[in-house]
Amino acid sequence: MYRLCSLMFLLAGPGDASPLPSAELPSYGGLLLKTILALVIVIGLAYALLRWGLKRLMPGHASGGGEISILDRQPLDSRRQVVLVKAYGRYLLLGVGDGSVTLLTELEAEAVAEAERRRAAHPPKRFADVLRSALGRNKPPPEPITPSDHSDDRQADKDRRDE
């Protein structure tokens, strides 16, 4: 390697005093910092796209005080669903399927308001509660142990040992 470098200096001649490229590697800290910075930028762009850009691209998810809004949807199978739409003060129940939309019925505002009140009065069960009742464990989970509880237990153990 030394001989090759010497030969390169001789061939370059006296007029070319350019140094050889440095053999030093960049520091790992610098590389790590650049990688973290690039990752933060990519995550920030993805967040911005999902937060603002996707809402404008997805039908039915547009924000901003329009007169037409989708209140609820219930899938029937992989290609058909029933959709509740509020349009200019009217509540419409629509059947949506392979490229077609069919008006099933128009609902009264009082009936929709009553259904919303019933839904609010009986919120859906949490998965943990359903699993606990299915396993036959209807007791609530135990309370977490605080540090003061441990000191009482240690004192009771010490009293028992002293007896």
What residues does 82 pair with on adjacent strands?
Answer: 74, 95
The pTM of this model reads: 0.41
Q: Integer distance in angstroms from the first to the last C-alpha of the chain? A: 83
pLDDT of residue 97: 92
- Give the CA distances from residue 16 to residues 10, 26, 29, 107, 130, in Å, rounded to whole numbers and listed in that order: 10, 27, 35, 89, 82
pLDDT of residue 53: 76
59 lies in a domain?
no
Instruction: Round to whole Å and give the CA distance between 25 and 92.
Output: 68
| Residue type present at position 85 | V
pLDDT of residue 128: 82
What residue numbers bound the domain in which 117 lies? Answer: 67-140
Q: Which of 115, 114, 87, 83 is nearest to 100 (CA)?
A: 83
114 lies in a domain?
yes
pLDDT of residue 67: 85
Total domains, the chain: 1
Question: Which residues in the chain land under pLDDT 50?
Answer: none
pLDDT of residue 135: 85
pLDDT of residue 155: 63
pLDDT of residue 8: 58
80 lies in a domain?
yes
pLDDT of residue 115: 84
| Residue type present at position 120 | A
Q: Are 82 and 95 in contact (CB under 8 A)?
A: yes
129 lies in a domain?
yes
